[in-house]
Structure formats: structure tokens, C-alpha cells
């Protein structure tokens, strides 16, 4: 890899100066409020800029990592080497007929609200999911019986070589909290959702109901990364954790939520190590008690500290 100074100068040729940060604290961008620094943190403003950065990364062998709203990520305290790409400036949402088109840095909550304003039904399930459109496609986000797979028509992505490519929803292998976006190395830039006309009042009533359920069941008063584990076939992760009497268990500042057993909250200045140790403790305890493997939904990335 080139020296940091050389990489910085090359990035300045591709992305505006204000949109290239060095040694950026990632905890400021993550829901858990945990994690180290990024060597470079860039916020491109056009599709072309994203393509150019991918090409630079290939030519100079500089790794890059996508960061959406940081609501499904734990980043280790050693931070991330190379370039972190955040698409917050690519956040346009528009609609035509029965479709809503959202750029990947837009919040999926805002896409859901936009659909409501157009009296289009299908994105109600997403009205409380705190991620971006890109992050939602990446893991086929879903809630209360709905998921991205049900409404996505197609997406524009930047592929590994830096080409802008259209991918139909059927090509993304969307399944329970997974897609082939990570294995293809795609960067999602824009998504087109196919929705159905419905009455504004009916859509609003569903969204209000889901918001009420979410606010009454989830510990939204503390930093967290949402449900830590996927639903194991035939079980509910939260119920297994509750029945293992793990609620309230803490390691350092991280705690298994007393309000929703599937959440681990950053209650008191937790370190990433606290968080990861607690996740592993929960996995071991549930395995010992019920013989069930809890697979993580949240992604853990980055470097350990020296
Ligand atoms: C309080 C709370 C409640 C939640 N409730 C739900 C829920 O009901 N349902 C649900 O499914 N999830 C839920 N989540 C988890 C989270 O909001 C979703 O997984 C969301 O889709 C993550 O989006 P993000 O932008 O925050 O992604 P990040 O956490 O930033 O990133 C997640 C992964 O997506 C990749 N990524 C991000 N953007 C792109 C892009 N443009 N192109 C390619 N890859 C990209 C990242 O590299 C990373 O690997 C919840 C989280 C919290 C904190």
C-alpha cells in the first residue's frame, strides 16, 4: 500500500477536499458508539466519484469498506485500514408511478415516509429500521413480516471493477438477512422499489402501529446495534436468551438488554472488547442450555488494538 500522504493526495483528485477526512473517529458514525478510527473517511457526491475510488483502490491495492448508518456494525477498537466510503450525500428519493427510487445513502425510514406521502404501500415495514437504503439491501433488512426482497425491483451498483451495473432483485440472492452483495463486492448506489397504490390513512395506520410496537419493545434509549442474532430455525433468539436468564448480564459497559433480550446495549462506555465478549458469552450459554447455535446478524469488522 502507498504511504498515507500519497493516498490522501490521490483521493483529493477524485473527491472534494471537504469530503476526505483522515483518521476519522468511527464511533461518531456508529449506533453502538464504539470503534476505532478510519485511515480515510470519504463521502462522495456522485456515482462517478464512487467508481473512481473503486478503480483507485484496485490499482493501488488500497482496501475499502462501506459504512452506511452504522446500525448493524461493530467496529473493533483498532479501527479500519484503508478507505471507509460513506454515501450520505447520495440520498435523493423520488417517485414515478408506483415506484420509489432511493439513492443508497438515504435512510430507509425516509424512503418509507416518501412512499406514504405518495400513498404507496409496501415499505411500511421499514418505517423504524435505522439503516440506509444500501445497508438495507446488503442484509435484506426486514421487520414485522416485510422485507426488502418483497418490494425491490432492481438496484444500480458499482461492481468490483468500478463499473456501474444494473442488478435485478432476483440476481441479488436476497434471503433472510442476507444477499450476495458482500460476496460480489458490490457497492449499492440506488434502489428502485415496486409498490402498490393504497389509501394514505391505511398506510399511516400500519406505520403508527409498527412504531408503537417498536418503541414499546426495544431499548431505544441506549446505543445498540439492534438485534444481535438472527432467528435460528424453529426458535426466537430473544426467547432463548431470556430463558437462559441472561437479561441484565454485563461485561464492562455492555449489557444484555432487560427490555428486549435480543439487544445488547452500550450502557456505560463499553469497549468493543466488552461487546464482543458479551456476544460470545450469550452464544456459549444458549448453546450449553439449549444446544442452539446463535448466528450473529450484526457484522464485526476492523482491526484489534496492538
Ligand atoms: C435500534 C435498531 C433497530 C433495528 N431494527 C432492525 C429491524 O427491524 N430489521 C432489520 O433488518 N434490521 C434492524 N436493525 C439493523 C440495521 O438497522 C439494519 O441492518 C440496516 O439495514 C443496516 O443499515 P446501515 O446503513 O446502518 O448499514 P451499516 O451498519 O452501516 O452496514 C452494514 C453492512 O452493510 C454494508 N453496506 C452499507 N451500505 C452499503 C452500500 N451502499 N453498498 C454495499 N454495502 C453496504 C456495510 O459495509 C456493512 O457490511 C436495527 C438496528 C438498530 C440499531
**257 and 188 co-located in one domain:** no
Atom 36 (ligand 1): residue with closest C-alpha? 135
What is the C-alpha R_g of the chain? Answer: 20
Pocket test for ligand 1, best of 125, 135, 186, 238 (most atoms within 8 A of CB): 135
Q: Which residues pair with 178 in a beta bridge?
A: 175
Whether 199 is catalytic: no
**Ligand 1 first shell, C-beta below 6 A:** 31, 65-73, 87, 104, 129-132, 134-136, 138-139, 141-143, 181, 187-188, 218, 220, 224-226, 299
Q: Are 83 and 62 in contact (CB under 8 A)?
A: yes
Report the number of distinct structural domains present in the chain.
3
What pLDDT is attached to residue 199? 98
Distance CA 187, CA 84 (A): 12
**175 and 100 co-located in one domain:** yes
What pLDDT is attached to residue 305? 84
Which of 52, 86, 120 terminates a domain? The answer is: 86
Of ligand 1's listed atoms, the one at least distance from the Cα of 220 is 1
**100 and 7 co-located in one domain:** no
Pocket test for ligand 1, best of 49, 71, 75, 134 (most atoms within 8 A of CB): 71
Ligand 1 geometric centre to CA of 32 (Å): 12
Ligand 1 geometric centre to CA of 137 (Å): 9
Would you call 207 helix, strand, or coil by DSSP?
Answer: helix
**211 and 225 co-located in one domain:** no
Ligand 1 geometric centre to CA of 68 (Å): 7
In a domain, 203, yes or no: yes
What pLDDT is attached to residue 2? 76
Nearest Cα to Cα of residue 104 among 72, 77, 67: 67
- The domain that holds 102 is classified in CATH as 3.30.465.10
- The domain that holds 268 is classified in CATH as 3.90.78.10
Cα separations (Å) of 150 from 90, 213, 221? Answer: 24, 21, 30
**pLDDT tens digits for range 117-136:** 999 999 999 999 999 999 99
**97 and 203 co-located in one domain:** yes
Range 158-194 burial, b when 16+ CB lie within 10 A, else e:
beeebeeeebebeebebeebbbebeebebbbbbbbbb
Annotated active-site residue in 71, 95, 227, 271: 227
Distance between terminal CA atoms of the chain?
20
In a domain, 306, yes or no: no
205: CB partners within 8 A, 6+ apart: none
Atom 20 (ligand 1): residue with closest C-alpha? 131
**44 and 75 co-located in one domain:** yes
Ligand 1 geometric centre to CA of 72 (Å): 4
Annotated active-site residue in 177, 214, 277, 296: 177
Whether 227 is catalytic: yes
Whether 284 is catalytic: no
Atom 50 (ligand 1): residue with closest C-alpha? 226
Residue 167's domain comprises 93-215
Low-confidence ranges of the chain (pLDDT < 70): 1
Which of 34, 65, 86 terminates a domain? The answer is: 86
Amino acid at each position: 500500500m502507498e504511504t498515507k500522504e500519497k493516498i490522501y493526495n490521490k483521493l483529493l483528485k477524485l473527491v472534494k477536499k471537504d469530503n476526505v477526512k483522515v483518521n476519522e473517529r468511527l464511533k461518531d458514525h456508529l449506533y453502538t458508539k464504539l470503534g476505532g478510527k478510519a485511515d480515510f473517511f470519504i463521502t462522495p457526491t456522485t456515482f462517478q466519484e464512487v467508481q473512481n475510488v473503486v478503480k483507485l483502490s484496485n490499482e493501488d491495492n488500497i482496501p475499502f469498506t462501506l459504512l452506511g448508518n452504522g446500525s448493524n456494525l461493530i467496529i473493533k477498537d483498532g479501527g479500519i485500514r484503508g478507505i471507509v466510503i460513506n454515501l450520505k450525500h447520495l440520498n435523493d428519493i423520488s417517485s414515478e408511478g408506483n415506484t420509489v427510487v432511493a439513492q443508497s445513502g438515504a435512510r430507509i425510514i425516509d424512503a418509507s415516509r416518501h412512499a406514504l406521502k405518495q400513498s404507496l404501500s409496501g415499505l411500511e415495514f421499514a418505517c423504524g429500521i435505522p439503516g440506509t437504503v444500501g445497508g438495507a439491501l446488503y442484509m435484506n433488512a426486514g421487520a414485522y413480516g416485510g422485507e426488502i426482497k418483497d418490494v425491490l425491483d432492481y438496484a444500480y451498483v458499482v461492481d468490483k471493477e468500478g463499473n456501474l451495473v444494473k442488478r435485478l432483485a432476483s440476481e441479488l440472492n436476497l434471503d433472510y438477512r442476507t444477499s450476495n452483495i458482500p460476496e460480489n463486492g458490490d457497492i449499492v448506489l440506488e434502489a428502485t422499489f415496486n409498490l402498490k397504490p393504497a389509501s394514505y390513512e391505511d398506510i399511516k395506520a400500519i406505520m403508527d402501529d409498527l412504531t408503537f410496537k417498536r418503541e414499546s419493545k426495544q431499548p431505544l434509549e441506549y446505543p445498540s446495534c439492534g438485534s444481535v442474532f438472527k432467528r435460528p430455525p424453529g426458535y426466537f433468539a430473544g426467547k432463548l436468551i431470556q430463558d437462559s436468564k441472561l437479561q441484565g448480564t454485563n461485561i464492562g459497559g455492555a449489557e444484555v438488554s432487560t427490555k428486549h433480550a435480543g439487544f445488547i446495549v452500550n450502557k456505560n462506555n463499553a469497549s468493543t472488547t466488552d461487546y464482543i465478549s458479551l456476544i460470545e458469552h450469550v452464544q456459549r450459554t444458549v448453546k450449553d442450555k439449549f444446544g442452539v447455535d446463535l448466528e450473529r446478524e450484526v457484522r464485526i469488522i476492523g482491526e484489534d488494538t496492538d
